[in-house]
Amino acid sequence: MKYDVVIVGSGPAGSVTGRFAAESGAKVLIIERRQEIGVPVLCGEGISRKIDDWNIIEGKRWIAGRMDGARIYSPDKTCVTLAAEQAGNETGYVIYRDIFDQELARRAIKAGVEYMMNTQAIGLLKKEDKIVGIKAKHFDEILEIEADIVVGADGVESKIGKWAGINTTLKPYDIETCAQYTLTNVDCNNNYCDFYLGNKIAPGGYVWVFPKRKDEANVGIGILGSLSEKGMALKLLDKFIADHPELKKGEPVRLIAGAAPVAEPVQTVKDNLILVGDAARHVDPITGGGLTTSLEGGKIAGHTIGNAVKKQRFDKETLSTYETSWKKAFGKKLHRNYVVKEIMLDFDDKTLNMLADSVKDYNFQEFSTLSLVKALVFKHPTLLKKLAPLIKLV
Ligand SMILES: Cc1cc2nc3c(=O)[nH]c(=O)nc-3n(C[C@H](O)[C@H](O)[C@H](O)COP(=O)(O)OP(=O)(O)OC[C@H]3O[C@@H](n4cnc5c(N)ncnc54)[C@H](O)[C@@H]3O)c2cc1C
């Protein structure tokens, strides 16, 4: 088997990379260890509406609900409301993630991408030291798939980067441990994605309630690995639900557990190799959301691969266009949000309450990090020292 590109992983990052590479003329194979694309769903299913402008997904079957904005609750329940455009990458639509991933794959297939399900990458194929493809297991058969470029789109547990000698190890400090119920028969007759902060509610993270319909919601929790212990995420989530009568009467139709990287991106390019999506740690370090960056990064990777195939050059220098372009598109924001994550980890519940109280009446139609920082420092000059690393970046 010989392809221009073999992509490991059929999530959003893999399918979008594959589609744009194929549309630029590359012969692409995507291998996926699961038996069905997008299943099981491991996601809160929130995404920004800015994807409407990206020509990445069509139709509406993947949309469960349109959100007006986000409400962020501090530990004392002070509420800060943000319009959808200001609320970050997880607010805009609540989606059916399984259908979403399958729609992305459909577009890729239309562009000529081949998919092989039930096929797990087990190592890189190398000639001397050069990457020349992937070794994979398809049921009991071991396959050797040759390709000029290997793409690691293999998610948070990514092995591809590691096999290629890139340090992708996540420290407990850089990973969110997550649990989520989809609860039915709850009261959530509103169009807001709700986020609950607090060191007792979710240490180093938050609880989210994303309505899928008026009586169904994804209710999940993420807590920082370094502040967590076994079983703690689910225990805290159960407590949160028990404390909220509008959720307590619900019953789960789905329970998932997973992890989200909240780290800085890794090196994403080597000779004959590209990393995209969660595998590249292209995830917002404040929220753990990575859908928009997987799509945006995947599109850039696909174009870069298309050009490389046209030129028949697969060295690091040629593929570096991808790294330069994603850094330009969203690299600065990921770095800034990593700094914000570190600052926020220092805040106790009292500070979180005070901050929410300070900005609850703020006009977020004009929201920007700079104006928010200015408003906070104006009200609380003592914050200047804590926010100093952030001020340098805005
Ligand atoms: C509980 C939870 C809630 C979340 N909620 C949100 C949210 O609301 N909004 C948001 O934007 N983000 C959210 N995220 C993050 C989001 O799900 C990821 O950022 C996104 O899925 C990344 O896409 P990806 O294509 O990089 O990886 P994935 O979607 O994880 O896809 C990777 C694929 O690679 C396959 N794979 C892995 N290893 C191999 C192998 N060796 N061989 C073959 N195939 C392999 C996997 O089976 C998988 O299909 C959440 C994450 C979690 C854990």
Q: How confident is the model at residue 374 (pLDDT cuts 50, 70, 90)?
A: low
Alpha helices (H) along the chain: 12-23, 97-110, 160-163, 232-242, 245-248, 291-311, 316-326, 332-345, 349-359, 369-379, 383-391
CB-based contact 279:309 (threshold 8 Å): no
Report pLDDT for 265. Answer: 97
For atom 12 of ligand 1, the residue with the nearest CA is 289
Residue 216 Cβ inside 6 Å of ligand 1? The answer reads no
Report pLDDT for 1. Answer: 81
Instruction: Please tell me the distance between residue 10's alpha carbon and the centre of ligand 1 in angstroms.
Output: 9
Residue 154 Cβ inside 6 Å of ligand 1? The answer reads yes
Instruction: Please tell me the distance between residue 156's alpha carbon and the centre of ligand 1 in angstroms.
Output: 6
Instruction: Please tell me the distance between residue 16's alpha carbon and the centre of ligand 1 in angstroms.
Output: 13
Worst-scoring range by mean pLDDT, 49-63, 83-97, 262-276, 286-300? 83-97
Neighbours of 205 (CB within 10 A): 29
Report pLDDT for 86. Answer: 74
Residue 250 Cβ inside 6 Å of ligand 1? The answer reads no
Instruction: Please tell me the distance between residue 360's alpha carbon and the centre of ligand 1 in angstroms.
Output: 33
Report pLDDT for 346. Answer: 86
Residue 43 Cβ inside 6 Å of ligand 1? The answer reads yes
Instruction: Please tell me the distance between residue 319's alpha carbon and the centre of ligand 1 in angstroms.
Output: 23
Q: How confident is the model at residue 127 (pLDDT cuts 50, 70, 90)?
A: very high
Instruction: Please tell me the distance between residue 62's alpha carbon and the centre of ligand 1 in angstroms.
Output: 17
From the CA of 38, give the closest atom in ligand 1. 49
Mean pLDDT of the chain: 93
Residue 280 Cβ inside 6 Å of ligand 1? The answer reads no
pLDDT, tens digit, 9 for 90 and up, residues 4-41: 999 999 999 999 999 999 999 999 999 999 999 999 99
pLDDT, tens digit, 9 for 90 and up, residues 237-270: 999 999 999 999 999 999 999 999 999 999 999 9
Report pLDDT for 375. Answer: 67
Instruction: Please tell me the distance between residue 294's alpha carbon and the centre of ligand 1 in angstroms.
Output: 9
For atom 4 of ligand 1, the residue with the nearest CA is 43
Residue 283 Cβ inside 6 Å of ligand 1? The answer reads yes
Instruction: Please tell me the distance between residue 27's alpha carbon and the centre of ligand 1 in angstroms.
Output: 24
Q: How confident is the model at residue 358 (pLDDT cuts 50, 70, 90)?
A: confident
Residue 90 Cβ inside 6 Å of ligand 1? The answer reads yes
pLDDT at residue 311 is higher than 70:
yes
Residue 374 Cβ inside 6 Å of ligand 1? The answer reads no
In angstroms, the CA 376 to CA 392 distance is 15
pLDDT at residue 367 is higher than 60:
no
In angstroms, the CA 221 to CA 230 distance is 14
For atom 51 of ligand 1, the residue with the nearest CA is 43
The predicted model scores a pTM of 0.95
Q: What angle do CA 8, 14, 16 make, to 5 degrees?
A: 155
Report pLDDT for 238. Answer: 98
Residue 46 Cβ inside 6 Å of ligand 1? The answer reads yes
Q: How confident is the model at residue 387 (pLDDT cuts 50, 70, 90)?
A: confident
The share of the chain scoring above pLDDT 70, in percent, equals: 95
Q: How confident is the model at residue 382 (pLDDT cuts 50, 70, 90)?
A: confident
Task: Find, among 36, 98, 89, 40, the residue nearest to 64 by Cα.
Answer: 98
Q: How confident is the model at residue 378 (pLDDT cuts 50, 70, 90)?
A: confident
In order, the DSSP letters of 170-225 are PPGGGEEEEEEEEEES----SSEEEEE--TTTSTTSEEEEEEEETTEEEEEEEEEG
Positive or negative, the Cα torsion across 87, 209, 265, 304? negative
For atom 38 of ligand 1, the residue with the nearest CA is 154
pLDDT at residue 373 is higher than 90:
no
From the CA of 90, give the closest atom in ligand 1. 9
In order, the DSSP letters of 246-291 are HHHT-EEEEEEEEEEE-S-----EETTEEE-GGGGT-S-TTT---H
Task: Find, among 325, 263, 326, the residue nearest to 292 by Cα.
Answer: 326
In angstroms, the CA 385 to CA 381 distance is 9
Report pLDDT for 145. Answer: 98
Cis peptide bond upstream of 40, omega within 30 = yes
- Residue 139 has what DSSP assignment? T
Q: How confident is the model at residue 372 (pLDDT cuts 50, 70, 90)?
A: low
Residue 92 Cβ inside 6 Å of ligand 1? The answer reads no
